[in-house]
Chain A
C-alpha cells in the first residue's frame, strides 16, 4: 500500500501550463473513473484549483512505475505534450505525498501564505471523490487528516488571521472601527480592478448597502449588478457623502477628488459618526488633510501596503508552528499506515508458513506409513501451534514499538526477509 501524488502548481508551472492542466468538476470525475478503470490507480482524488492540479492515488503496483503512468495519463487527458509537462510536474510518494497534502491544506503551499480558500477546496475535492466512490480507506484517512490539519493550523496559529492584500486589509481596518459591517454602507468611487477587489471584500464581509460611482456609467452598472449595489451618477455622489460609513476611492485623476471641506461638511451632516476612507488612487484622490478631521480615519495606498507587508511578515513567523502541526499529523498517518501494513504482513507470513507446513507434511510426514489419519492431524495441529507461537512474539514486539521510524523499518525488514519474492499487499 503506497500513496502517490503527481501534480503541478504555481511554483513549478507558468499559468499557461496550469490553465491547460486544470480540471473542471466533471473532468475531475471523469479522470478519476478513467484512472481506476485503466488500472493505473485503485483509489483516486483530483484536486484542482487556480494554482494547482494534483492527482492523489493508491496504485495497485509500485508507485514509481505508476507515477510515470500518471504523467502519461495527464498528458493524454489534457492533450498536452509530455515534454511540456515533464518540466513542471512533481512526483511525491508516501511520507512526502502525505506531507505535501497536509501543507497544502494548511495553506503553507499557497501562493498567498495561509489563505483560507484552499481548505474549502480540499474539502470539496474530497467530497466529490468520496461521493463518486473513488476514494478508499487510504485516501479517506489521508484527506480526513488533511482537513484536520487545516483546521488546527487555522485555529492554533495566526497564519490566516491577518489580511495580506490591500483590499482585505482596508476592509479589515473598517471592521476595527465599526465591528460587523452588516448594518453599514459603503461608497466606491471608481470601478477599476482594485475597486472591484474592495467591493468583493466588502460584500464578503456582509456590507449592508453598496454604492458605486464611476465616470463611465457602463462599468459602474456592471459592477453594481455583479455585487448587488446601487449606481450613483458621477456628478451627484457628493450629495450622498453623509450616508456611507466607508468610502473607497480609486479614480484616475490628476487632481484631488475628495476635498477636506466636502468631507468636513459631510461629517457635520452625519453628526460626526466615524468615517473610514481608503484612498487607493495614484496620485492620491483624497486630500491628506481629511485624515486630521475628528472621527475620520484615512488610509492611503502606502499605508495599506505597509500593513500588508507587516502582516505577511507576521504570517511567515507562524510557519514553524504550522509545520510542527503538519509533522505531528504526518507521524500519526504513517503510524496508522504502518499498523495497517503490519496486520497485512502478519497475515501474509501466516499464509506462507502454512503453505510451507503443507509442503513439509506432504514431503516428510506422509512417507511415514504407520501414522494414522488422526496422528497426521495431530502433527499438523502441533505444527500450526508452533508457527502461531513463532509469529506471536515478533508481532507483539512490532505492535508495541513506539519509535515510528523503527516500526516502519522493522516491517520492511520482515517483509524483505520472509516475503522478498512477493508484491506488497
Chain B
C-alpha cells in the first residue's frame, strides 16, 4: 500500500474516532458531523488503497490476511456509515470506529503475500468475495450493536445510569439498527454464497465439493434467519434476541478463524 494512502486513511479514521468519542461525551452536533465527514474521507482513501492492491491481483484482495482484513475493515466502515445515515444516529460511531481502525492498521502490519494472481477471478467471483466479507462486517456491526443494547438494557434495569446511558441511542433504535445490519448481512451472504456455488463447478477439479466452510456458512445463514424471525416474537423480543445475535457472531468468528485456517481448502481469508 502506498504510504501516503496508509497514513491519510489511518489519520482520517483516528480523527473520526476521536470526534465520535467527543460527540458521545458532549453531544455537540457539529463534532458528530465532522466525525462522519472524516469517516467518509477515510473510506475514500481506504478504497484507493484497496484499489491499488486489487490492480496487482486483478481481483478483490482476499487471498492474504492483509487484503482480507483491510477489505473487512472497509466494508465494516461502509456498512456503519450506511446505517448511520439511514437511522440518523451517530452515538455508536465511537464504538465501531476502533474496530475499523484496528482492522485497517493490523492489515497493514500483517505480512502480505506475494501479489500472485489468484486461481479464481472475474466479476462474479469478485462479487462472491466482496459480498461474503460484507456479510461478515454487517454481522460484526450487529454484534457491536447487540453488545451496546445488552449493556444499556442492563444499566436501565438496575437503575445505574451514570453518564453513559443518557448519551447512547435508545434501546429500540439499537434493536432496529442491529436488525437492519443483520438484514444487510443476510442478503449479502445469500447472494455471495449462491455466487460461490457457481464457482465450485468451475474449480471442482481443484477443490473438494465438501468444504466444511459450506456447512458453517449454511449454519450462520440459518442462525441469522432465526435471529431475524425471533427478534419480533413474544418470547425473544429484546435482550434475548440480542444475546442470540452475540452468539451468532461467535459462530461467524469461528468460521472466520478455526474453519478458515484449519478446515477449509478454499476459504483461507474470507
Question: Which residues on A are within 8 Å of B, measured CB to CB?
Answer: 155-156, 158, 161-162, 172-173, 175-179, 268, 271-274, 291, 294-295, 297, 299, 303, 306-307, 310, 314
Question: Which B216-253 residues have a C-beta within 8 angstroms of A?
Answer: 233-235, 237-240
The winner among B29, B157, B233 for most chain A CB atoms within 10 A is B157
With A156-B26, A314-B163 already in contact, 4 other A-B pairs whose C-beta atoms are closer than 8 Å: A155-B28, A158-B26, A179-B172, A306-B159
* Residue of B152, B169, B237 touching A272 (CB-CB under 8 A): B237
Enumerate 15 A-B pairs (CB-CB under 8 Å) in ascending A order: A158-B26, A173-B161, A175-B170, A176-B165, A176-B168, A176-B170, A177-B156, A177-B170, A177-B171, A179-B169, A271-B233, A272-B234, A272-B237, A297-B157, A299-B159
Q: Is B98 an interface residue (CB 8 A)?
A: no
Question: Are B172 and A178 neighbours in the complex by a CB distance under 8 Å?
Answer: yes
Please name the residue on chain A nearest to B29 by beta carbon.
Answer: A155
Contact assessment for B161 and A307 in the assembled complex, using a CB-CB cutoff below 8 Å: yes
Q: How many residues of B contact A (CB 8 A)?
A: 25
Instruction: Give CA–CA (A175, B172) in the complex, Å.
Output: 9
The answer for the CA separation of A361 and B110 in the assembled complex, in Å, is: 92
Counting chain A CB atoms within 10 Å of each CB, the highest count among B159, B169, B240 belongs to B159
In the assembled complex, B207 has its CB within 8 A of some CB on chain A: no
Residue on A nearest B89 in the bound complex, by CB: A179
Q: How far is the CA of A341 from the CA of B171 in the complex (A)?
A: 57
Q: Is the interface of B mostly helix, strand, loop or mixed?
A: loop
A273 to B173, CA, bound (A): 14
Complex-state Cα separation, A175 to B165, whole angstroms: 11
Residues in A with CB closer than 8 Å to B157 are 291, 297
Task: Determine the distance from Cα of A95 to Cα of B220 in the docked complex, in whole angstroms.
Answer: 68
In the bound complex, residues from chain A placing their C-beta under 8 Å from that of B168 are: 176
Report the separation of the CA atoms of residues A159 and B157 in the bound assembly, to the nearest whole angstrom: 26
Flag whether B212 is at the interface (Cβ < 8 A). no
Complexed CA–CA distance, A303 and B159 (Å)? 7
Known pairs A176-B165, A176-B166; A295 contacts B156 (CB<8 A): no
Residue of chain B at shortest CB distance from A268: B234
The contact of A177 among B172, B235, B240, by CB within 8 Å, is: B172
B173 touches A295 (CB 8 A): no
Given A155-B28, A299-B159: A272 touches B166 (CB 8 Å cut-off): no
Contact A294 B163 (CB under 8 A): no
Contacts of A294 in B (CB 8 A): 238-240
Shortest beta-carbon distance from A245 to chain B in Å: 10
Shortest C-beta distance, A168 to chain B (Å), equals 12
For residue B29, which residues in chain A have a CB less than 8 angstroms away from its CB? 155
Instruction: Report yes or no: A297 in contact with B156, Cβ–Cβ below 8 A.
Output: yes
Residue on A with the closest CB to B162?
A310
The docked-state distance in angstroms from the alpha carbon of A69 to that of B233 is 73
A175 to B163, CA, bound (A): 16
In the complex, the answer to whether B238 meets A176 with C-beta atoms within 8 Å is no
In angstroms, Cα B238 to Cα A297, docked, is 12
B170–A295 CB distance below 8 A = no
